[in-house]
Structure 1
């Protein structure tokens, strides 16, 4: 959505294909909308599709859209392979957006999403190099599965792993300060452009009164169904000389929450409107929440729940932009209390968060990403005279 908005602002015609529920938001940004097929690939319904079976079906559907629109470039999310394959089938240049840190490994890197920081010694790098050899089988399995999907669609096989990431253009939408340094020049077609941020419009909420430091408690919308982190934060932060704004994200907890005198609990909150007023953000370390907090100069208290949240928490810790709380301690009021006290009490965290906010203010990630997409479109389909690319 953020990239589409940036391209639209530069005068391009943009079609966004995604689930139907996002139609009003896309059209509100001036984008044309196309509904994507919604296949269920997890065992939540009868006869769920296997992931690559769903990809093959969706690629056939999206190919019709690509054929009808005749775009100059197709941009696909890293987890959305169907439009990338559809673009390739129609001979259209394809770019990938990675809406988090780059998941590809490099010598000495720990496994992605393990929640382990980059090692500081040669011995530590050797350990992870050995682990990488063991994990190579998983990457090879993914390559084989993707090549089978490509075969079904009439595309040639790929020799490389991470075949879902374009080798023409990859936009990594995170802070470069959260990216581990890679040996050499890295991937030549990969660009770390900065966070591509967008949120649905929502009005501002009333903040707790007073002048004490303001801490936002922002749980994940998909994890921690019992609100263990939210409950621990409200309890653990009750007696501190701070103000607490907390949201339950329209998911009522199974047991009513006790809201202390220094806190306010709301149904929903606009991060873009609220975080600039905050000093720290307690969250499950979803990438969008983390980069919005850092863009606002907030120290992050990362309480990872699952998946890439572990990786995001490790990167925040490595970059000295906040405090990481192990998952086993997330439901402990005392642990959350100590983590917040440390986040607010150590100047280096605030200094780094402010540096990232300053970087964000002077680097327009949307404009940079749009410029790179324009270059790919121009290189893939030169015109005389040049025409405005369509994505």
Structure 2
């Protein structure tokens, strides 16, 4: 029996798949400790795993609503400003506290391997140091961020064009456009007692012993230079919800001609006027549609308008129950939620602007499984037209079903177990 440490940033979209992985590892006879913040201690306990406390300074606050004046900027400029702020708040600011917590835990409780989510940059000092360490495997809980000759720099959300060499563009993006971000990363590393990073922030998982991408190749851009350390294992999605307590309107779902699900995810859902509000207005006159809204239940939320007669609003519904009933999903681009929809062959309309969500949207469009609205604040007309297009054009659903076939054949827990076994076999600590 091995003892594995799961180090996970305290973000719902990251914690959920990592807890599923932990439960799978434990079911295969291993001991699992989860290092995350105290707000999620109960969830770790309910999963049957051992909780270890992450320093409070490692918490990631939800993004504040973008200032109104930014909505008048070109989307590329707005995406750059939002993406730079996201990189700092999610990947750089928590690094020192993550590293301290990890160091303290390892000194008191040696482990056979570390499984870190891609936002847990606190493992970087360990990876960049020369001291002996256990194997470190990173789980890609968002789109693949690694630079490639075949893809534009991550964060630009541009789809690759065949035959182009993107190395020069990537160099300019990293060394000029994002130079300030790299300096902040190196300052955080120095404060954590580490040498500076020899790579740009988006490439840090390449320094791990393996990058286990929680997706399938069909939902990623083709790359001729994909590192050998990268393995697509498939998305880790909850299997079901036996204790589902349906809302009193649930019987309406079976009788609806079309079910449209709209969500702003579990993180960037403070301002519901970005996507949920205009969607409700755009579809209010569609008697053939039942619009199901999940808000995430964050404190302080408020819908910007009355709820139309064809809409139902709840904090949360289990996707294992909801998604098989959905005809179209409208989302701000959460990686796990989008892949959950694709697993059930549901085409997706994405309105995302921050770096990872815009990249998810671009991949949805590239795969043919949906529409990229190109902004986090789409107009009612744009939403109305996209829904009509996805419902009437069968190609979107066919592409989503093709990806669904690929996702359903993946065996993520088995593949992750095998990867850990392989790397632990060479670890002599």
Instruction: Tell me which residue corresponds to 2:44.
Output: 26
Q: Tell me which of 269, 283, 294 is aligned to 1:237.
A: 283
- State the match for 2:271 in structure 1: 226
Distance 1:335 1:212, change over 3 A: same
Q: Which moved more, 1:87-96 or 1:164-173?
A: 87-96
Is residue 322 of structure 2 the alignment partner of residue 274 of structure 1? yes
> 1:92 corresponds to which residue?
134
What's the CA shift string for 1:202-245, capped at 9, x where partnerless? Answer: 73534334141211111233335332211111121122222211
Residue 114 and residue 205 in structure 1: after superposition, are their counterparts in 2 closer, same or farther (change >3 A)?
farther
CA-CA distance at 1:42 after TM superposition? 8.0
Report the equivalent of 1:183.
Answer: 224
Tell me by how many angstroms 1:130 deviates.
3.8
Match of 1:174 among 199, 215, 232: 215
Q: What are the equivalent positions in structure 2 for 1:103-252 lying under 5 Å apart?
A: 103-120=145-162, 122=163, 125=164, 128-137=166-175, 159-161=198-200, 162-184=203-225, 186-198=226-238, 203-206=244-247, 207=250, 208-209=252-253, 210-223=255-268, 225-228=270-273, 229-240=275-286, 241-251=288-298
**Structure 1 pair 143–380 and aligned structure 2 pair: CA distance change class (3 A):** farther
Q: Is the 8 A contact 2:280 2:308 kept in 1?
A: yes
Shift of 1:249: 2.1
Secondary structure, counterpart of 1:39 in structure 2 = helix
Aligned to 1:366: 413
Per the TM alignment, residue 362 of structure 1 is displaced from its structure 2 partner at its CA by: 2.0
Tell me the C-alpha RMSD between the 2 structures.
Answer: 3.1
2:70 is equivalent to residue 70 of structure 1: no
Bigger mean CA deviation after superposition, 138-147 or 350-359? 138-147
Unaligned ranges ≥5, structure 2: 1-18, 63-87
Equivalent position SS for 1:327? coil
> What TM-score, normalized by structure 1, do the two folds share?
0.84
Provide Cα deviations, 1:235-273, integer angstroms capped at 9, x if missing partner: 211222222111222146545532222221222222232
Task: Say if 1:189 and 1:130 are closer, same or farther in 2 by CA, change over 3 A.
Answer: closer
SS of corresponding position for 2:426: helix
The worse-fitting range, judged by mean Cα deviation, of 230-239 and 7-16 is 230-239
User: How far, CA to CA, are the matches of 1:80 and 1:191 in structure 2?
Assistant: 19
Which of 376, 379, 382 matches 2:426? 379
Secondary structure of residue in 2 paired with 1:215: strand
CA contact (8 A) 2:90 2:119 kept: no
Shift in Å, 1:376: 1.1
Q: Which residue of 1 aligns with 2:367?
A: 319
Q: How much has 1:129 moved relative to structure 2?
A: 4.2
The alignment of Structure 1 onto Structure 2 pairs a total of residues equal to: 373
- Alpha-carbon separation, structure 1, partners of 2:364 and 2:146: 18
Q: Is the 8 A contact 1:37 1:58 kept in 2?
A: yes
Structure 1 gaps, min length 5: 383-391
